[in-house]
Amino acid sequence: MTDKPNDSLIAWLADLIYVGGKFESGRALVCDPTGAIVKIAPVEELQDEKRIRLGNRAILPGMVNAHSHAFQRVLRGRTEYRTSDHDSFWTWRKLMYSAATRLSPEDVYDASRMTFLEMALGGITAVGEFHYLHHAPDGTSYDDPNLLGKEVIRAARDVGLRIALLRVAYVRSGFKTDANPRQARFIESNAETYLKNLESLGGDLNRASDTAWVGLAPHSVRAVPLDYLKQVITYANDRDLKTHMHVAEQPAEVSACVEEYGRTPTALLETEGLLTDRFTAVHAIHVTPKAISPFAKTGAMVCACPTTERNLGDGVVPADEYLRNDVPICLGTDSHTQIDLWEDARELEYHLRLQKLERAVLSGNPTVREGAWQLEADSTLRDGRVSDLAALLFDCATTNGARSIGAPGGALEVGKPADFFTVDLNDPTVAGASKGDLLASIVFSASRAAVREVVVGGKPIVSEGQHLIQEEVVERFTDLQKRLWQ
């Protein structure tokens, strides 16, 4: 009698696997029926596990997109023209409102599903959705005040992504600013209503779930007055929930905060005791070096969204200063002008190169001595060490993102879920890379098309570069765009 494979355990075998900060060969990633990793073992130690071979592939941990506005995917390509003497975030925002005020619940689902599909195809396995569409277009509440949030969650689940629904608190247009009727879908005028609806959504999701969970997202200091802000962040801290907030995205926001409170947004958050290790400041561009130290003291994080920040002309995140102060940075695709977390990772470095007129700004290694390059390069090729800069940027896209939104993945380790993607080692953008320079080739040069398989919780959602429901998702989104913009 021959032994049959143990179908309860699945062993994924690829040419290379990224574990412990470097690529290893001759290893298998083994997961149990729940999708948890039980071991990463040499292939020769496998016994009766069911084997899935992935030839010419490297396995890497799934990436985590920490900041998304899924419905804004409908805007792609439709805002790239001048509308005033000085175009900026504030003029772009008017065009965004034209879409936000016309989407039905089913439209929100279709737009979100398209966004999450594109994320999955790029190796993203979890997303933090900064969700602020709550009401009907005229501002009246749906029978279920979480209807639109649930449509976004349904979209993520149908695509197969994990999602943190970061439910947005939005109260006003700004300090001493008249109400904007185009924001009627966003506003919950008191903290009690907001928290009641958040609590209801959290209960519906089952907080113990690792596929969908809630977090809090006071939109910004201009949209949420201080008393309201303190009440919702206290609620989050008491329940160990993640808090995300737009901070210092534009100079006008900083000026308005100083006018209202006599302090910048970062100073306000610090002096009011609102920064904690559960807090992520999204963007945090227009800050002084002095304003960065409170993040380090409290363990708060920063989420940079370089593709959106350059598209809107917001500015450059001072990532070098944050990292110098040991402030972790994660990444988001925000408005979805482009959904490619590798691009956001490399831009975090590249924008600084343009500013400072130097290379490897975020690298912690000293410049290689003249004449020593060949020796160090050969050493790197032998032991599989990777570029410290590539590793840092990849951590921003994986482990840091997971910490920011409370996702269970981010790294391939025993006990964590089998959330991973593969890269085709024969893809033209990475072909010829060695173990030592493969991660740098991926982070700085790979096309998203190099991603071939994506697995979430041990279940494949992308195979050979195609998602299981890709055709239907694209078809319905195309129909939405025709209706929305005809």
- Cα separation of 472 and 470, whole Å? 6
Residue 148: partners with Cβ closer than 8 Å, 6 or more residues away? 105, 108, 131, 133, 134, 142
Residue 213 domain-assigned? yes
Q: Around 162, how many Cα atoms within 13 Å sit in the side-chain half-sphere?
A: 31
Residue 216 domain-assigned? yes
Mean pLDDT over the full length of the chain: 92
Residue 294 domain-assigned? yes
Instruction: Tell me the mean pLDDT in the region 466-473.
Output: 97
Strand, helix or coil for residue 464: coil
C-beta separation of 429 from 450 below 8 A: yes
- Cα separation of 445 and 439, whole Å? 10
C-beta separation of 411 from 399 below 8 A: yes
C-beta separation of 100 from 185 below 8 A: yes
pTM (predicted TM-score) = 0.94
Residue 65: partners with Cβ closer than 8 Å, 6 or more residues away? 119, 124, 126, 127, 128, 331, 332, 333, 339, 341, 401
Instruction: Tell me the mean pLDDT in the region 351-356.
Output: 97
Instruction: Please work out, in degrees rounded to the nearest 5, the angle formed at the alpha carbon of residue 118 by the alpha carbons of 114 and 120.
Output: 115
Query: In CATH, what number is assigned to the domain containing residue 248?
Result: 3.20.20.140
pLDDT per position as a tens digit, 114-149: 999 999 999 999 999 999 999 999 999 999 999 999
Residues paired with 61 in a beta bridge = 420
Q: Return the pLDDT at 182.
A: 87
C-beta separation of 264 from 291 below 8 A: yes
Structural domain count of the chain: 1
**Maximum Cα–Cα distance for the chain, whole Å?**
81
Residues paired with 65 in a beta bridge = 127
Strand, helix or coil for residue 70: helix
In this prediction, residue 84 has a pLDDT band, given cuts at 50, 70 and 90, of confident
Residue 191 domain-assigned? yes
Residue 4: partners with Cβ closer than 8 Å, 6 or more residues away? 48
Q: Which residues of 408-428 are buried (b: 16+ CB within 10 A; e: fewer)?
A: bbbbbeeebbbbbbbbbbebe
- Cα separation of 438 and 65, whole Å? 22
Residue 452 domain-assigned? no
Q: Return the pLDDT at 207.
A: 59
Sign of CA dihedral 389, 390, 393, 399: negative
Residue 271 domain-assigned? yes
Name the DSSP letter for residue 189.
-
- Cα separation of 323 and 233, whole Å? 25
Q: Which domain holds residue 149?
A: 63-356
Residue 330 domain-assigned? yes
Classify residue 93 as exposed, middle or buried by CB count within 10 Å of its CB (0-12, 13-18, 19+). middle
C-beta separation of 71 from 100 below 8 A: yes
Percent of the chain with pLDDT over 70: 93
Instruction: Tell me the mean pLDDT in the region 305-312.
Output: 95
Q: Return the pLDDT at 382.
A: 42
Catalytic residues: 283, 334
pLDDT per position as a tens digit, 446-461: 999 999 999 999 999 9
Residue 58 domain-assigned? no
Q: DSSP letter string over 252-315?
A: HHHHHHHHHHSS-HHHHHHHTT---TTEEEEE--S--HHHHHHHHHHT-EEEE-HHHHHHTT--
What number of residues does the chain have? 486
